[in-house]
Amino acid sequence: MTRSILWLRRDLRLTDHPALLAAIRDANHLLPVYIHAPEEEQPWQPGAASNWWLHNSLIALDRDLRKLGSGLIIAKGSSRLVLRKLAIKHQCQHLFFTCLPEPASIQRDSRVCRELTKAGVSCHQFHSYQLLGGNSIRRIDGGSYRVFTPFWRALQKQGMLQRSTEPAPKALPPLPNEIDSLEIDSLKLLPSNPWYREFHNHWQPGEAGAFKKLHDFMQQTVNDYHTGRDRPDLSDTSRLSAHLHFGEISPVQIANGLSARIGGTPAYTDNEGASQYLRQLAWREFAIDLLANNPDTDRLPFDSRFADYPWRSDKQAKNLLQKWQRGETGIPIVDAGMRELWQTSWMHNRVRMIVASLLTKNMGIHWLEGARWFWDTLVDADLANNSLGWQWSAGCGADAAPYFRIFNPVRQAERFDPNGNYIKHWLPELSTLPTKSLYAPWIVKTSELFKAGVQLGKTYPKPSVDLQSSRREALKRWESVKRRSNTAGSK
Ligand SMILES: Cc1cc2nc3c(=O)[nH]c(=O)nc-3n(C[C@H](O)[C@H](O)[C@H](O)COP(=O)(O)OP(=O)(O)OC[C@H]3O[C@@H](n4cnc5c(N)ncnc54)[C@H](O)[C@@H]3O)c2cc1C
């Protein structure tokens, strides 16, 4: 009688699941278990929006498992102890799981395997969280990459489509009798602030929701991705980030889907949309690789010259941070983005870059403050991608934009929201302004504002930072850091 445990974490799906397929190969009984252990994810315990997603994703997975004759066992506590107890109580011989790439997970998994091996359980690990898992992209000298373009070339060279997509099993071995499971509700994942009530209008957590998003993207927008992906006023990106984070779809499924859609290998296709999309997926791989090989970069700057950067933390900075979080900076494209984030728990990539640049450069506030806010409010909050995005925007990351390239939010909005539809949607109080006046209302004539019913400081805030002088200040701070590191280097 073979009994196997399938330890589910961020692989909450049934299709293209190598660990699941291996687990059922010879099993008479399968124990699919999710263990809630947020304290094992120090120092970045899942944020509120992530928890909302997880709650709904577990419900969807349990439903899907039941349809195939199984069900999800819910437990909480130390993963090591829960798994050991489960294995002993139900006389399981095998543990199967999908590796997660974060440094804390890697350490935890080796502790779990040591403990279970001692208890006579054999552990089987699988890599499907990434296109090519397990630190397989290496420079010729064996080191890891710090710059995206050579990483991307190496990834293409290794062949991004190395395996076909595995279908979901048609049936699953049953659970053994006398299984103890908690209710999903008892995990208390739903945030106490009911701000999440509207999220269901935007998201369907779970595998079916991921398939729908992928299908819509492939049918409607992939061909326009290269031209539309930077436009927050269009819906030309896939919005698969949270599904990918929770493993409700694998990157291999997406890459193979692209391949099938265009009838060729996306990396070498003439379909510019498909190849640009694959390149973005490769940024995810790059972020994972960077964090795995530089485990401190969720907290410390990749560029060590920023170790002593004079970030502002005075009372005025705290005030600015609060305005930024609330979408009340008085800079329309930034406020639109921050309100999109608050209302939908997601923000368009271009706008993420704009709001991050304003916070870290014009306001001079530490990138970790922004990273923490995103961590709590994004449904796709992901340690590797969030750390990379924030460090890149702050200028201290691997392959970051040169520091002096400070985004001008007005020019960015004119270029990427040319009809002002994004700003008008998220800031209805400005929607009566003519498009050309939407981007920087503080330079618009009072008579025009009056005609549109806009009163700066009353119906919409005045700008909280002066874009020109704060840019100069940021450059001065950077010059002082450079001088200090040059002096230190020459000593
Ligand atoms: C300051 C900042 C913070 C960010 N925080 C996160 C985060 O916590 N979680 C997260 O998933 N992404 C993060 N990103 C990256 C990016 O904004 C999102 O992945 C993207 O907006 C998700 O929308 P989408 O699925 O429609 O993307 P698409 O354009 O459809 O891209 C497809 C997939 O490729 C990956 N991808 C796309 N762009 C990037 C990128 N720049 N870096 C890494 N992977 C990428 C994502 O997995 C995404 O789902 C951040 C970017 C910035 C600038």
Protein residue closest via CA to atom 12 of ligand 1? 385
Same domain as 334, residue 267? no
State the distance from the centre of ligand 1 to the C-alpha of 383, rounded, in angstroms.
11
Same domain as 399, residue 324? yes
284 CB under 6 A from ligand 1?
yes
State the distance from the centre of ligand 1 to the C-alpha of 144, rounded, in angstroms.
21
Q: Does residue 227 lie in a domain region?
A: yes
Q: Quick one: pLDDT at residue 447?
A: 97
Angle at 406 (CA atoms; ends 405, 407), nearest 5 degrees: 110
Same domain as 348, residue 287? no
Look up tokens 């979080």; give the residue: 325
Same domain as 310, residue 263? no
Ligand 1 closest atom vs CA 244: 47
Query: For the chain, how long is the longest CA-to-CA vector?
Result: 82
Same domain as 142, residue 115? no
- Give the pLDDT of the chain (491 residues) as one tens digit per residue: 899 999 999 999 999 999 999 999 999 999 999 999 998 987 899 999 999 999 999 999 999 999 999 999 999 999 999 999 999 999 999 999 999 999 899 999 999 999 999 999 999 999 999 998 766 788 888 888 999 999 999 988 887 666 789 999 999 999 999 899 999 999 999 998 889 999 999 999 999 999 999 999 999 899 999 999 999 999 999 999 999 999 999 999 999 988 887 776 655 567 889 989 999 999 999 999 999 999 999 999 999 889 989 999 999 999 999 999 999 999 999 999 999 999 999 999 999 999 999 999 999 999 999 999 999 999 999 999 999 999 999 999 987 677 777 999 999 999 999 999 999 999 999 999 999 999 999 999 999 999 999 999 999 999 999 999 999 999 999 888 888 777 765 54
378 CB under 6 A from ligand 1?
yes
How far is residue 315 from each of residues 13, 322, 359, 415, measured CA to CA in Å?
Answer: 46, 11, 15, 34
State the distance from the centre of ligand 1 to the C-alpha of 208, rounded, in angstroms.
21
Q: Quick one: pLDDT at residue 139?
A: 87
Q: Give per-residue burial for 170-209: e unless 16+ CB within 10 Å, then b.
A: eebbebbeeeeeeebeebebbbeeeebeebeeebbbbbeb
Same domain as 486, residue 339? yes
Q: Does residue 18 lie in a domain region?
A: yes
Q: Does residue 149 lie in a domain region?
A: yes
Same domain as 258, residue 338? no
| Residue-range definition of the domain harbouring residue 364 | 304-490
229 CB under 6 A from ligand 1?
yes
Q: Does residue 187 lie in a domain region?
A: no
Q: Quick one: pLDDT at residue 489?
A: 56
Same domain as 150, residue 96? no
Domain count for the chain, please give it.
Answer: 3
- Domain boundary, last residue among 112, 129, 146: 129
Q: What CATH number does the domain containing 140 carry?
A: 1.25.40.80
Ligand 1 closest atom vs CA 286: 43
- Domain boundary, last residue among 243, 258, 293: 293
Same domain as 124, residue 139? no
241 CB under 6 A from ligand 1?
yes
Same domain as 125, residue 141? no
Q: What CATH number does the domain containing 55 carry?
A: 3.40.50.620
Q: What CATH number does the domain containing 426 carry?
A: 1.10.579.10
Same domain as 278, residue 353? no
Beta bridge partners of 36: 76
The token pair at 8 is 């589910």
